[in-house]
Structure 1
Amino acid sequence: MVRCSWYKTRWLIGAGTLAMFAARVASAADASTYTNPLLPGGPDPWITQVDGVYYYMHTLGNRIALWRTDNIAHLAQATPLVVWTAPTTGPNAHSIWAPELHRLDGKWFLYYSATASGFTDDKHRAVFVLENDAADPMNTHWIDRGRVNTARPGIDGTVFTHAGKRYFVYSPYTETDTSLAIAAMKNPWTLTGPENVIARPNQPWEQQGGRKIVEGPEFLPGPNGDLFLTYSASACWSDGYSLGLLHAAPGADPLDPAAWSKSPRPVLKSANGVYATGHNGFFMSPDGKEHWIIYHANSAPDMKCTQQRAPHIQRFDWTDQGWPDFGEPVAEGVPLPVPSGTR
């Protein structure tokens, strides 16, 4: 994400704060319900659910850690395990942002954004990859596959497979601060062929906070064969930070910029006492029957872009036309049913 001076703040929520939060969550909800936020802080959150187990992560700045739980209501009681620590020098030495865990070709891959040592500018940011062939991603034997060979500096890389082909989407720095670009993949850490920009921040709601930004793309397959990409719009320190949506019709070529159309307004934005909703991911319930979104948000206006941005999750449905309907962010503290099929 495009950040400002908040990055110099503390990266860890204090152990005492987390313990009190876990106790509050435990007293407010039983095993069948949860409340938002899941943690007292955690920007750029991500969940991968596999065989009823949730693997969670968020931005920590100088390392990557995984939380594991079989009930998302108990995330605050899980103990994070650091699986990788940034080197002291090199192209991926600091500003470790937006990690994502993916299961590809029978292996685990971690994608993350990083900045080269000695620099703080956008020109020295890129997306990097770690690989692990163990069955359990909590295994700490990760192989560094280096920088994804994108055509531009950028952040927030993600991968998806469609019609038997794998694609990479990220947020490169362009003439409009950031855009969204797509390319085909030769393997999980190498791009091949042309890299095409598919979206630029050309709407007023994508230009809040003094920057023109679209970032944090995430792929979502529709029930009728449509392709969707959510993204975060505007500066992360603005309460106008929100989610946008790109759409490509069934059978379209994802590499063709003309195949993508943009929703004219945000599809998830500040409401119900929840502010600056952004940087999302998607996961399925353990029984495969429910679609869920995870995103970070602030609990009050003008909280800016700090580590206090906390992870929220909620179930979403589909319209009769096969488009995602995220609704509004659910207010904090409201008990909600856990994903179906939770142990």
Structure 2
Amino acid sequence: MSSRLATTLAATLATLCATQALAGTETYTNPLLPSGADPWVIRHDGFYYYTNTLGNRIALWKTADMARLGQAKPVVVWRPPASGPGSTSIWAPELHYIDGAWYLYYTGAEKGHDDDAHRHIYVLENTAADPTRGHWVSKGQVNATLPGIDATVFQLHRRWYFVYSAYVDDHSDLILARMKNPWTLTGPQVDIAHPTKPWEMYGGRKIMEAPEFLKGPGDKVFLTYSASACWSDHYALGMLSAKAGADLTHASAWHKSAQPVFQQDPAHGVYATGHNAFFKSPDGSQDWILYHANGGPNWKCTDRRAPRMQPFHWNADGTPDFGQPIRDGVPHPAPSKGS
């Protein structure tokens, strides 16, 4: 029997067994959508608002159940200007709710200059209760000192922080700063981490991108990030950790994982795992990771990247255990809704 046939039979058997074991239970299968790089989700007032890179627009999916994301109809909420800064290559949108208003952070370049030197982070604001409605107003380019991509924001101890992947010489570093308001940085903009590990350099580039914040159950906070070039099957998640009481604007506060914390699993047919987000189940009892990946080797950075999700757990030392990426097409229990 050929190895390919054996793998196919094993996958079919796994699907049948999982389906029988979960009879009567709400389930989902990965991928959640046929396509969708750089997925992001936030839960607010009983709904999940999901988005991903579309390149020439930003759309939001609204659903009460992430297991049914594929049934939600995307709503295009914004299109870029015809020219000028932020007019093309609209990447990695993130939706955040800050002080009673919605904000969309996204990466954009300039038509005619679609290169790294002209890639920056921009912000949109919407004061409607529902971000799929109302009017989005541009707050302009964030005053980051370097060009870069993949911004996220988070709040800790009543302070808001901004982190993005900046182009520094021949590599991409993670830069962190405090925020004066949702569109303005204040104080030092600190390079908290740069590529130093061999697993951050696959694909011919030294890359740390797509930072995402995660609060631990104890006194630790974490920043996951995507390491190596997205066109490499070895694209994976690394992680920085710090004590919640530390000054996060000091590079010395952050410590890097020795190995990737989430990576490809050829045995499960999942490759190039990266650019993640985190969310809670509807009843708040489970932690979930949302990420994009390829369903085959050498698929590169194309529209074949698709969003996937799975629950994760916490180790005794307060660090997250993301496990291995689950196999596509196999039913798994949906996020818990409680009794």
TM score, norm. by length of structure 2: 0.91
What residue number does 2:238 align with? 244
Mean Cα displacement is larger for which, 29-38 or 163-172? 29-38
- Structure-2 separation of matches of 1:257 and 1:41: 36
Structure 2 match to 1:303: 299
Residues 298 and 310, structure 1, Cα contact 8 Å, conserved in 2: yes
2:108 pairs, out of 106, 110, 114, with 114
Residue 155 (structure 2) pairs with residue 161 (structure 1): yes
Q: 1:202 aligns with which of 176, 196, 203?
A: 196
Residue 250 (structure 1) shift: 3.5
Q: Is the CA contact 1:179–1:201 (under 8 Å) kept in the aligned structure 2?
A: yes
Q: Does structure 1 conserve the Cα–Cα contact (< 8 Å) formed by 2:25 and 2:333? A: no
**Per-residue CA shift, 1:230-283, capped at 9, x if unaligned?**
000000000010000000023111100000010010000001210000000111
Look up the equivalent residue of 1:61 and give its one-letter code: G
Q: Does the alignment pair 1:50 with 2:44?
A: yes
Larger radius of gyration: 2
| Map of 2:3 onto structure 1 | none
Deviation at 1:51, TM superposition (A): 3.0
For residues 216 and 64 of structure 2, the distance between their equivalents in structure 1, rounded to whole angstroms, comes to: 27
Which residue does 2:207 correspond to in 1? 213
Among 326, 337, 340, the residue aligned to 2:322: 326
- CA distance, structure 2, for counterparts of residue 29 and residue 153 of structure 1: 51
User: Is 1:263 aligned with 2:257?
Assistant: yes
Query: Which shifted more, 68-77 or 136-145?
Result: 68-77
Runs of 4+ in 1 over 6 A off after TM superposition: 28-31
In 2, the alpha carbon distance for the partners of 1:43 and 1:134 equals: 27
Q: TM-score normalised to the size of structure 1?
A: 0.90
Q: Which amino acid aligns with 2:311?
A: R
User: Which 5+ residue runs of structure 2 have no aligned equivalent?
Assistant: 1-21
- Paired residue for 2:218, among 213, 217, 224? 224
* Candidates 75, 84, 108, aligned match of 2:78: 84
Contact 1:29 1:35 in 2 (8 A): no
State whether structure 2 residue 182 is matched by structure 1 residue 170.
no
SS at match of 1:258: helix
Is there any run of 5+ residues in structure 1 with no aligned partner, and where?
Answer: 1-27
**Residue aligning to 1:287:** 283
Partner secondary structure for residue 245 of structure 2: coil
RMSD, aligned CA: 1.5
**Using the alignment, how far apart are the partners of 1:153 and 1:338 within structure 2?**
39
Whichever residue aligns with residue 96 of structure 1, its letter is I
Question: 1:7-156 to 2 correspondence within 5 Å?
Answer: 32-156=26-150
Q: Tell me the amino acid that sits aligned with residue 317 of structure 2.
A: Q
Given residue 160 of structure 1, which amino acid in structure 2 is its aligned partner?
F
Alpha-carbon contact 2:239-2:261 (below 8 Å) kept: yes
Within 2, Cα distance between the matches of 1:94 and 1:262?
A: 33
In structure 1, C-alpha distance between the alignment counterparts of 2:240 and 2:328, rounded to whole Å: 28
Partners of 1:127 and 1:164 lie apart in 2 by 23
Q: Identity of counterpart residues, as a percentage?
A: 58
Distance 1:135 1:51 in 2: 10
The structural deviation recorded for 1:74 is 1.6
Q: Using a 3 Å threshold, how does the CA distance of structure 1 residues 92 and 327 change in structure 2: closer, same or farther?
A: same
Aligned counterparts of 1:30 and 1:168: Cα–Cα separation in 2: 43
Q: 1:236 to 1:29 in 2, by over 3 A?
A: farther
Equivalent position SS for 1:205: helix
The size of the alignment, in residue pairs, is 316
Tell me, yes or no, if structure 1 residue 338 matches structure 2 residue 334.
Answer: yes
Provide the rounded CA distance (Å) in 1 between the counterparts of 2:68 and 2:317.
35
Write out per-residue CA displacement over residues 277-307 of structure 1, whole angstroms, 9 at most, x where no aligned residue.
0000111111111111100000000000001
